[in-house]
Amino acid sequence: MKFTEYKYTRPDYEQDKAKVEDMIKRFNDSKSSSEQIKIMEEMDEYKKTLSTNVNLVYIRHSINTNDEFYAKEQDFLDEYMPYYSVLETKLYEAVNNSKFKDELIEHFGQHLFDLMDCQLIFKEEAVPFKQKENQLATKYNKLIASAQIEFDDKILTLSQMAPYTQSEKREVRKEATEKIAEFFKEHEKEIDGIYDEMVHVRTDMAKALGFDSYIEFQYKSLMRTDYNKDDVKKYREYVRKYVTPVYLELRKKQSKRIGIENMKAYDTNVMFTDGNAKPHGGKDFLVENAKKMYSELSPETKEFFNFMYDRELFDLESKKGKEGGGYCTTIENYDSPFIFANFNGTTHDVEVMTHEAGHAFQSYTSMDGRIMEYIWPTYEACEIHYMSMEFLTWPWMKLFFEEETDKFKFSHLDGAISFIPYGVTIDHFQHFVYENPDATPEERKAKYHEIEMMYRPNLDYDNEFLEKGTWWYRQGHVFNTPFYYIDYTLAQVCAFQFLLKSLKDRDEAFKDYYEICKVGGKESFFGLMKAGNIKNPMDDGVLEEILPQLLNVLDEIEKKL
């Protein structure tokens, strides 16, 4: 079956509620752990069917936000999913209170019960808050998707503007950056209003559920079982101590390389005077070469990519009405990952074919009949798979970039290191926001600028609107999934270790990588790192140890340029 043939059925809440109540009753009346295990398998089938239908709407709506049918279905889900979350909590409560809990732990593993503990926070009191939050997120996403920017005698989306922000012509990238900023400036009051309402709705929800702040609530929602906000704060300090100086040194070298003494923020997108490496072909060229790459990487990746290719489980090109960004999700009843992206003619396109394919390969590997909770790991662990896949596929980059391959590798690694200070900026900002929910929009923007100067003190936007602290407007995670961003930086440090391993012994590196893909969601973040033989980024000394090795790799590549 092709993706277009996958069938969507609108969930029937009353029917599902009755089904859940029946499963809970039979579970509680069970006379043995084996009976309860069978009912838990029924529960799993129910959850997978619900998730399948929810994700089909999510995918099809994000591909075309102007599709009236799926727009209505998204509105329906925005209203009803909080009620489904309550039903899920009731299932977890029953399992958690089982009289055969020890036997269930022995069968399913302790980690499932640790995850359940996080899920138990969602109560009926949260429903109206969650409904409002969903509506606000949809409103923001539609606004971003609606962008129609006049540039280069064309009408372009935000995603389609990206190549111009990387132009080797300084005046072009400056003007493109300003045009994008103009769109956000035109909608400044609307975005501030959406976000202000989000912050208060989330804070009120957390308090209604007995939490001191939304921070504690959301850490539980993200199922962070290994660490807390104090650990994250300490990690951010390590980044400031070890990564920020390296970032500043890289920018000095870049300034010299591209011949611009007083670099502005829009100059940082360009690594070479003759422009960045670009893939030597469009969508079909990229997909066909990705097929070749994955067929040679390993038998497992060959099987995976052929499955994706044959079923057309991609939507890759930018187009009118399509949401921005990129993601991978799963359609459980069809054992299918799905990759959503917005190709724009830059290195980003190749990175998507490795990035989202890393997520997809992991989930494909983990959809082996296991319970739904064990398909995906938690967010920060998920991101290890994609970032590592980007590095493990370096030997095949010649397929896409030909004589510009070393330029690509250099930009890729430099960009990965340079991303970390930005990633912790977004995290630090969100902690401020939810520690101070009554701050005004102007205070939030001023604080964002103050924080970004801590981690990237050389930033000069050369734009009054951006200088006042509005760059985060375009970071969808801030609106859609609060606190899901530090995850990328943690995973990036793990991926650096896979790069360094692969440069010494590619087979051994892939073996460890495949191991964490097979583990999937069966282990926590810390447990997954142990399975992959990688060090914890949150431990003092890890960044200090890795960074010099990465700089050596960069130097070796630069010698070839």
pLDDT in tens, 195-226: 999 999 999 999 999 999 999 999 999 999 99
Residues 293 and 410 in one domain: yes
Within a domain: 424: yes
426 and 508 co-located in one domain? no
Q: Which domain, by its residues, includes 521?
A: 283-416+501-528
pLDDT digits (tens, 9 = 90+) for 498-524: 999 999 999 999 999 999 999 999 999
The two structure tokens encoding residue 385 = 């798979």
Within-domain flag for 551: no
Q: Is residue 553 part of a domain?
A: no
Judge whether residue 139 has pLDDT over 90: yes
pTM (predicted TM-score): 0.92
Is 349 within a domain?
yes
Sheet of strand 314-317: strand arrangement: 314-317, 336-343, 327-331
The pair of three-digit structure tokens given for residue 373, joined into one six-digit string = 């909770």
By CB neighbour count within 10 A (0-12 exposed, 13-18 middle, 19+ buried), where does 131 fall?
middle
- Distance CA(421)–CA(434), nearest Å, equals 20
pLDDT at site 347: 87
| Domain identity same for 454 and 518 | no
Three-state DSSP at 7 gives coil
Structure tokens at 480: 């859609």
Same domain, 192 and 227: yes
In this structure, are 261 and 357 located in the same domain?
no
pLDDT digits (tens, 9 = 90+) for 386-438: 899 999 999 999 999 999 999 999 999 999 999 999 999 999 999 999 999 99
What is the mean predicted confidence (pLDDT) over 486-506?
97
In a domain, 549, yes or no: no
pLDDT at 275: 86
Vertex 62: Cα angle to 59 and 68 (nearest 5): 100
Q: What is the pLDDT of residues 522-546, one digit of tens each?
A: 999 999 999 999 999 999 999 999 9
| Whether residue 388 is found in the same domain as residue 507 | yes
Produce one character per residue of 458-477: b if its CB has 16 or more CB atoms within 10 Å, e if not.
ebebebebbeebbbbbbbbb
Copy the structure tokens of residue 410: 């250099």
Residue 337 shares a structural domain with residue 263: no
Q: Say if 341 falls within a structural domain.
A: yes
Q: Which of 85, 101, 133 is the last residue of a domain?
A: 133
Query: Of the residues 110, 133, 156, which one is the last residue of a structural domain?
Result: 133
Residues 184 and 115 in one domain: no
Q: Note whether residue 64 is domain-resident.
A: yes
Q: What is the mean pLDDT of the chain?
A: 96
- The answer to whether the CB of 390 falls within 8 A of the CB of 234 is no
Q: Is residue 556 part of a domain?
A: no
Please state the domain count of the chain. Answer: 3
**Residue 29 pLDDT class (50, 70, 90 cuts):** very high
524 and 381 within one domain: yes
Q: At 329, give phi and psi (nearest 5°).
A: -135, 180
**Looking at the structure, do residues 115 and 101 belong to the same domain, yes or no?**
yes
Task: Give me the pLDDT at residue 350, please.
Answer: 92
Residues 240, 300 within the same domain: no
Residue among 557, 286, 274 nearest 399 (CA): 286
Question: How many of the other CB atoms lie within 10 Å of CB of 504?
Answer: 8
- 170-181 pLDDT tens trace: 999 999 999 999
Instruction: Give the pLDDT score at 417.
Output: 98
CA distance 135 to 133: 5
Above 90 in pLDDT, residue 346?
A: no
Dihedral (CA of 426, 432, 435, 441) sign: negative
Question: DSSP label at 404?
Answer: G
> Which residue has 């850490």 as its token pair?
219
Tell me the sheet residues that pair with 329: 338
Nearest CA among 431, 334, 407 for reference residue 560: 407
pLDDT of residue 453: 98
Domain boundary among 115, 133, 151: 133
5 has a pLDDT exceeding 90: yes
pLDDT > 90: percent of the chain: 94
Assign 369 a pLDDT band (cuts: 50, 70, 90).
Answer: confident
Same domain, 192 and 248: yes
